[in-house]
Amino acid sequence: MKKYNQFAASREVSAKCGRRSVRFLVTAGWLAAIFYNIESPSKAEDLTQALQAAYQRSEVIANAVAEYEADLERVTISRADGLPELNANLNVNEAVVGPRMGPNLVSVQAEVTLPLYRGGSVRNQIKAAEAQSDASNVGKRAAEAQVFSEVVSAYANVIRDRQILALSRDNFETLSTTLKATRARFQARDLTRTDVAQAESRVALAYGEVQTAEANLVEAMEEFQRVTGMQADVLAPLPLLRNMPPDPETAAAEALEENPEVLAARAVAEARRYEWRAARGRALPSVSAVANGRYGNVAQAPLQGDTSPFGATVGFSVNFPLFQGSRTSAGIREANIRENQAVLTIRDLERTLAARARSEYANWQATSSVVVASERAVAAARSALAGVRAESDVGTRTILDILNAEQELRNAQVQLVTAQRDSYVAAFALLTTMGRTQAHHLGVGQGATELVPEPETDIVAGSASVSIIDAPATAAPPIADPWPTLAVEEMPIAAAVPSQPEVQPVRPERQMTPAGRTPSTASSPQPARPITGIEPTQWVIQLAAFSKEASARQHWEMVKAETTRIVGRTLPVITSFRSADKEMFRLAVGPFADFEAAEAACHDLRVGRQNCIVRRFSTLGQPRWTGTQSDTGGAR
Give the Cβ contact number of residue 513 at 10 Å. 13
Q: What would the pLDDT profile of 136-161 be if each residue is shown by its tens digit?
A: 998 889 999 999 999 999 999 999 99
User: Looking at 443, 468, 485, which one is the last position of a domain?
Assistant: 443
In sign, the C-alpha dihedral spanning 539, 541, 544, 547 is negative
pLDDT at 413: 92
pLDDT above 60 (res 636): no
Q: How confident is the model at residue 66 (pLDDT cuts 50, 70, 90)?
A: very high
Q: How far is CA 436 from the centre of its chain?
A: 10
Other residues' Cβ atoms within 10 Å of the Cβ of residue 14: 14
Residue 323 lies in a domain: no
| Range(s) of the domain holding residue 612 | 539-626
Task: Name the least confident of 194-208, 353-367, 615-629.
Answer: 615-629
Who has greater pLDDT, 95 or 28? 95
CA 621 to chain centre: 26
Residue 579's pLDDT band (cuts 50, 70, 90): low
pLDDT at 36 over 60: no
List of residues 6+ apart from 207 with CB closer than 8 A: 172
The count of structural domains within the chain is 3
Q: Is residue 76 part of a domain?
A: no
DSSP 590: E
Phi-psi region of 57 (alpha: psi -120 to 50; beta: other; left: phi over 0): alpha
- Beta strand spans in 458-560 (E): 539-546
Handedness of CA 548, 550, 551, 553 (dihedral sign): positive
Alpha-carbon gap, residue 622 to 463, rounded angstroms: 26
Q: Give the three-state DSSP class for 457.
A: coil
Percent of the chain at pLDDT > 90 equals 26
In this predicted structure, what is the pLDDT of residue 168?
92
pLDDT tens track for 353-371:
999 999 999 999 999 999 9
Asked whether the predicted pLDDT for residue 76 surpasses 50, the reply is yes
**Beta partners for 583?**
578
Which residue type does 149 have? Answer: S
Q: Is residue 216 domain-shared with residue 361, that is, in the same domain?
A: yes
Choose from 116-130, 155-169, 617-631 the range with maximum mean pLDDT. 155-169
- Using the CB atoms, write b or e for 401-432: b if 16+ within 10 Å: bbbbbbbbbbebbbbbbbbbbbbbbbbbbbbb
Q: What is the pLDDT of residues 402-422, one digit of tens each?
A: 888 888 999 999 999 999 999
Question: Of 238, 210, 140, which Cα lies nearest the Cα of 466?
Answer: 238
CA distance 429 to 435: 10
User: Do residues 344 and 242 make contact, with C-beta atoms less than 8 angstroms apart?
Assistant: no
Secondary element (H or E) of residue 564: helix 549-567
Better pLDDT: 449 or 191: 191
pLDDT of residue 41: 53
**Average pLDDT for 322-348:** 89
Q: Is residue 451 part of a domain?
A: no
**pLDDT for the residue 283:** 86
Show Cβ contacts of residue 562 under 8 Å, excluding neighbours closer than 6 positions.
Answer: 608, 610
CB distance 631 to 560 below 8 Å: yes
Residue 247 belongs to some domain of the structure: yes
DSSP 538: S
Say what the pLDDT of residue 490 is: 30
Looking at residue 507, its pLDDT comes to 33
d(CA 144, CA 63): 11
Provide mean pLDDT across the span 522-538.
61
| Same domain flag for 430 and 548 | no
Q: What CA–CA distance (Å, rounded) separates 314 from 635?
A: 65
Domain match, 371 and 226 both: yes
Select from 428, 443, 458 the last residue of a domain. Answer: 443
Nearest to 570 by CA among 579, 578, 562: 562
Q: Is the dihedral of CA 66, 68, 74, 79 positive or negative?
A: negative
Quick one: 156 and 34 in the same domain? Answer: no
Helix (H, G, I), strand (E, B) or coil at 310: strand
User: E strand or H helix at 233, and its extent?
Assistant: none
Residues 254 and 382 in one domain: yes
Report the first-to-last Cα separation within the chain, whole angstroms. 58
Identify the band that residue 529 occupies on the pLDDT scale cut at 50, 70 and 90.
low
Establish if 478 belongs to a structural domain.
Answer: no
- Residue 263 and residue 255: Cα distance in Å, rounded? 10
Residue 613 and residue 443 in contact, taking contact as beta carbons nearer than 8 Å: yes
State the CATH number of the domain containing residue 595.
3.30.70.1070
Q: Is the peptide bond before 472 cis (omega within 30 degrees of 0)?
A: no
532 or 577, which is more confident:
577
Q: Residue 58: what residue type? A: S
In this structure, is residue 316 part of a structural domain? no
Of 394, 428, 443, the last residue of a domain is 443
Enumerate the β-bridge partners of residue 86.
Answer: 112
171 vs 627: which has the higher pLDDT: 171
Do 34 and 168 reside in the same domain of the chain? no
Spatial separation of the C-alpha atoms in residues 330 and 156, rounded to whole Å: 53
Separation CA 144–CA 52 (nearest Å): 11
Q: 549 and 423, same structural domain?
A: no
Integer Cα distance of 472 and 142 in angstroms: 40
Looking up residue 204, the CATH number of its domain turns out to be 1.20.1600.10
Which pLDDT belongs to residue 519? 39
Share of the chain above pLDDT 70, in %: 74
Among candidates 472, 485, 499, which has minimal Cα distance to 412?
Answer: 472
pLDDT, one tens digit per residue, over 564-573 is: 888 887 889 9
Question: Does residue 3 surpass a pLDDT of 70?
Answer: no
176 and 28 within one domain: no
**Looking at residue 489, what is its pLDDT?**
28
Longest dimension (CA), the chain: 139
3-state SS, residue 592 = strand
User: Which residues partner with 584 through β-bridges?
Assistant: 577
Strand spans (E) along 408-536: none
423, part of any domain: yes
DSSP 265: H
CB half-sphere exposure, 189, CA atoms < 13 A? 0
Mean pLDDT of the chain: 76
Please give the pLDDT value at position 427.
94
Within a domain: residue 417? Answer: yes
**CA 573/CA 622 separation, integer angstroms:** 10
